[in-house]
Amino acid sequence: MKEDDKPFNDAIDHLNKIEGNPANFAKADFTKLPKPLKYFGYFIIVFFSVSILLIIIANLLN
């Protein structure tokens, strides 16, 4: 285990073990998600981006 992965005290280590938080969460591979979940995430991101853009345009036109 690298120095960065170690918890800074025993209480945090215990909490992470109880909650199931991995110590190396930053190294999680999000490219292995199922395709429907990926597409749903892409849809949500695009939907909110377009919505914000349309709200800004509507406010500028008023």
- With contact defined as beta carbons under 8 Å apart, do 5 and 23 qualify? yes
If one counts every other C-beta atom within 10 angstroms of the C-beta of residue 37, the result is 10
d(CA 4, CA 2): 5
Is the pLDDT at 31 greater than 60? The verdict is: yes
Q: What is the dihedral of CA 22, 25, 29, 32, to 10 degrees?
A: 50
Q: How confident is the model at residue 4 (pLDDT cuts 50, 70, 90)?
A: low
In this predicted structure, what is the pLDDT of residue 42? 92
Model confidence pLDDT, tens digit, residues 5-29: 676 788 878 887 888 776 656 666 7
Could you tell me the two tokens for 17?
Answer: 């073990």
Residue 43 has pLDDT above 70, yes or no: yes
* Mean pLDDT computed over every residue of the chain: 82
